[in-house]
Amino acid sequence: MKNIADEDLDHMEKNPGDTAPLEGKELDKQKISRGQLRKGLIKSFLLTSIAVIVFFVPVVVDGETDVVFGYLYNFLLNLSVPFSLWLFTVMVLANAVTSIYVKLFPERSGRLLDYYGGDTGVHIFFYVLGAVFMSVYALHDSFAGVTGPEWMVGPDTGGTIIPSIVLTVGWIIPLAAVFMPLLLNYGALDFIGSILEPVMRPLFKVPGKSTIDAISSFVSSSSVAILITSSLYRMNVYTKREAIAIATSFSAVSVGFAVLVINTAELSQDFLQVYFSGMLIAFIISFFMIRIPPLSKQPDVYFDGREQTEEERQGEAKFEFGIIPRGFQRAAKRAETARPLGSEVKTSVAGALGVLPRVVAMLASIGITGLIVAEYTPLFNWLGMPFIPLLNILGVPNAAMIAPSIPVGIAEMFLPVLLIAGDLAALEAGAIYFVTTLSLVQIVFFSESIVVIKATRMPVKLWELVVCFFERTLIAIPIIALFMHMMY
């Protein structure tokens, strides 16, 4: 474990500018022979094809459709059922104890100080709280004679977060790390970035490469997309502003989870309309979000401290002849000059294992706390009341009944639909569509995306993420209402 931890710290904490890969026009200047170019193109095509098959190609097995990554993940999850809960419980306990030790005895902590040194008392509080929640739930689940408090381990709180989110994300992160280098380091990113830069830069003020993040979230999970964004930020591919904008705008819920949400709302007969209208609305929201604070005020500074130039921002933000050949050349050069696949996978997995204890601990602590507040306090009912007049003005039916579901999405994106699930018979179809679509496009929520963003140490403050949630919600409400009137 020491070697893995050391490599992770080197990879995650040191200035990556020393070994950062060449980008854009710098890559164009890289000189390689025609034979190397051909070899690089073949290498890029083969490794990218594997990544595409793993992450993006739907496969039907026994009547069920999923991507290969989904099948691999489910196989791993089923294989680990006997020990998975206790594995992550011990991990979270060790994380809490170690963080306290480093805080109390920094002079004796050695390399651990590099890892935990930046953590505040708030971080440690959530680590300890996560350890308490995980321990109580594990004892409650494993031993018939042990009964945890209902508000902590019940099906509406810990019973939702730990099996469905904590254990899920806990296995997704290391598994995704094995395959992410295929997608990021061997030309796929460079090819897509070159082709889509003229679209993404003017519309969303982010690189064309961000399309990879968006696609990854749609077909696998938002956690994978955020991990990709964090990795590219640390590789000096994205600036601080770009990384935060991408993580909060394009890390949408996966198709599989969208199916669950839409089915719970009993809108499965309208799945295509609901899902694709939600995707379109999410991009419309992002168009506005990029242009207002706090996202617009973030600096265009890379991880190594270098400022992005205007030439870098605008140099390839227009369509021109030769854009596709240039994309192929960049992909070939990237693949040919990249490190061996084994080294890239080792670094990727080490980085994932480094953030895993933090992610699991904060998913448990913040996720369960959010659901406790939602289930056992009137807070979200109060927060929902100001939305009632707005919903009435926009002609959204059943405004008073669905208003509490609007702010509750910040705790967990599934909660808005769960809140109305028992009242579907009393709600009009338009109201159900409104709540369902809103839950799909809010994107920023505590039980997963916020936790993963913070645990991977992306350069954004918690209050900024909360502001992003409410901004996305306020922008989304009139747009969803418009779509609702057109469709229902």
Which pLDDT band holds residue 244 (cuts at 50, 70, 90)? very high
Beta-sheet pairing, 64-67 with 58-61: antiparallel
Predicted confidence at residue 315, as pLDDT, reads 62
Predicted confidence at residue 269, as pLDDT, reads 86
* Least confident span in 299-308, 453-462, 473-482: 453-462
Which pLDDT band holds residue 123 (cuts at 50, 70, 90)? confident
Predicted confidence at residue 437, as pLDDT, reads 96
Predicted confidence at residue 233, as pLDDT, reads 93
Which pLDDT band holds residue 20 (cuts at 50, 70, 90)? low
Q: Which of 223, 236, 263 minimizes the C-alpha distance to 443?
A: 223
Assess whether pLDDT exceeds 90 at residue 419: no
Mean pLDDT of the chain: 87
Q: 164 or 41: which carries more pLDDT confidence?
A: 41
Q: 215 or 88: which carries more pLDDT confidence?
A: 88
Average the pLDDT over 232-242 and give the result.
92
Predicted confidence at residue 318, as pLDDT, reads 67
Predicted confidence at residue 4, as pLDDT, reads 35
Predicted confidence at residue 21, as pLDDT, reads 61
Average the pLDDT over 199-227 and give the result.
81
pTM confidence score: 0.77
Which pLDDT band holds residue 3 (cuts at 50, 70, 90)? very low
Average the pLDDT over 136-163 and give the result.
93
Predicted confidence at residue 25, as pLDDT, reads 63
5-9, 12-16, 150-154: which is most confident: 150-154
Which pLDDT band holds residue 23 (cuts at 50, 70, 90)? low
Phi, psi angles (nearest 5°) of residue 457: 60, 40
Average the pLDDT over 411-430 and give the result.
88
pLDDT tens digits for range 332-361: 998 998 999 999 999 989 988 988 998 899
Average the pLDDT over 107-124 and give the result.
83
pLDDT tens digits for range 276-297: 899 899 999 999 999 999 999 9
Assess whether pLDDT exceeds 80 at residue 178: yes
Predicted confidence at residue 224, as pLDDT, reads 81
Which pLDDT band holds residue 468 (cuts at 50, 70, 90)? very high
